[in-house]
Chain A
Amino acid sequence: MTTRYTKDHEWIRIDGDIAVVGITAYAAEQLGDVVFVELPEIGKTVAQGDELAVVESVKAASEVYAPASGEVIAVNEALEGAPAMVNEAPGGEGWFVKLKLSAPDELDAMMDEAAYKAHTS
């Protein structure tokens, strides 16, 4: 499994042509307390860079963009009752969406962990 990062602070963890998407700890920290996550409908097709979800903190709403193109095959329904999971475990239980990738080579140009750390430091 490989994890890649976007400059907009999403992470994408790839296993074959299935990928899990969430926001980074850095993004969660910047947003502050997450109070609501608007997730897409299962079956929705997104292109890389399209709006995928909306995350709301006490202060403001922020868009989450699709790191790669594909079809939404699952969403993290647990976030509905426990949006704070995005703050508590942004890289784990606080995941947003599972995508079936349509163009896995889009990932090649994305940042690895070391590059993302450099991007946020």
Chain B
Amino acid sequence: MADQASLQKTPLHDLHVELGARMVPFAGYAMPVQYDGVMAEHNHTRAAAGLFDVSHMGQARVSGDEAAFEALVTADLAALGAGEQKYTLLLNDQGGIMDDLMIARPDDGDLFMVVNAACKGSDFAHMRARFGSRADLNELTDRALLALQGPQAGAVMADLCPGAAKLVFMQAGAFTLDGMDLLVSRSGYTGEDGFEISVLANEADALARRLLSDERVKPIGLGARDSLRLEAGLCLYGHDMDETITPVEASLTWAVAKSRRERADFPGAARILAQLEAGPEKKRVGILPGDRAPAREGTEIVVGGETAGVVTSGGFGPTVGAPVAMGYVRADLAKPGQPIELMVRGKARPAAIAKTPFTPHRFHRG
């Protein structure tokens, strides 16, 4: 049991408590796991709009020689124009995934990144060590981060900050709302249209209350954040990928820019390009259990009586209306429809490899 007193609080902590959230320890922070209930919050996000506090995530600006930053990740940062954002991977020298992150150029200037809460200390230390004096990393500890997600998110934003509502998927920009300086991107972690909004910590409570005053918007906890991202087929760092997994194995080859592959100039390029050529030994896939029993993280995957892989995320998909999972299997089994068995509580249960996402992405591509 984590010591509650040692947990950090986000700038929205008092609001969560006021809204009746159940608070749990997550990555060193006291975070809301649910308000009304995971199922209701999940369904509300898919039907209208949900507001998530993701202030525990790491935010930083990078200035100086961007080549020093590009050398550590899989994106083509030189090609990242003003107002654009990319999903990318921070790799170790063996090509293992240290983190997945978003990098944006919200204006003409510096790069802005958002990294996972549990990785931010190690990510930023690694980046600073590799940057040396070539680039500066400025961690934005004075900023909170909110996510507004769902099919009504665009309409809510249009009423509040019309400029930001004009962004399309994977665009980002700087906006002003009632004197608040916002960095907004059109992206998220639910498979729905939506925004991630960086705001000064001391203005976050006012912004959150402003968003929640719109009846289309409800607060959503980490429980539904997890079921939403799992249905959307999106990876959770530390579960669906870690430092031993390459982008090819994680089925994230699309996040390695074509130009970077041609230049073979990203960490672990030799190993990753060889895997691309020959195929990896194992691959991340979607899994649909054949009965009603959810298969949780750690569940053994069996084919023909032999271990063939492991579930890395699994639970119930409220929108799918059935259990959903993802995990790693031997590459020759990584095709949709392939029958497998899941060992849940000592019983082999039928399941099949499935395409992800389990629910169609509904990004606003303009």
Contact = CB atoms under 8 A, between A and B. Distances in A.
B171 interface: no
Interface stretch (B234-242, B245-253, B254-262, B292-300): B292-300
Interface string A32-56: 1101101000000000000000101
26 contacts: A32-B34, A32-B37, A32-B38, A32-B39, A32-B223, A33-B39, A33-B318, A35-B292, A35-B294, A35-B316, A36-B292, A36-B316, A38-B293, A56-B293, A56-B294, A56-B316, A58-B42, A58-B223, A58-B227, A58-B315, A58-B316, A59-B33, A59-B226, A60-B296, A61-B294, A83-B292
B323 interface: yes
A59 B38 contact: yes
Interface of A: 32-33, 35-36, 38, 54, 56-61, 80, 83
A33 B345 contact: no
A29 B293 CA distance: 20
Contacts of B226: 59
Nearest to A84: B39
Contacts of B292: 35-36, 80, 83
Contacts of A58: 38-39, 42, 223, 227, 315-316, 318
A61 B315 CA distance: 9
Interface of B: 33-34, 37-39, 42, 223, 226-227, 292-294, 296, 315-316, 318, 323, 345
A59 B225 CA distance: 11
Contacts of A54: 345
Most central of A38, A54, A59 by chain B CB within 10 Å:
A59
Nearest to B322: A35
B315 to A, nearest CB: 6
A58 B314 CA distance: 10
Contacts of B316: 35-36, 56-58
Nearest to B222: A59
Contacts of A32: 34, 37-39, 223
Contact of A33 (B33, B37, B293, B323): B37
Contacts of B296: 60-61
A57 B227 CA distance: 11
Given A58-B42, A58-B227, A36 B318 contact: no
Contacts of B293: 36, 38, 56
B35 to A, nearest CB: 11
Given A35-B323, A56-B316, A57-B316, 16 more contacts: A32-B34, A32-B223, A33-B37, A35-B294, A36-B294, A36-B323, A38-B293, A38-B345, A56-B293, A57-B38, A58-B38, A58-B315, A58-B316, A59-B223, A59-B226, A61-B294
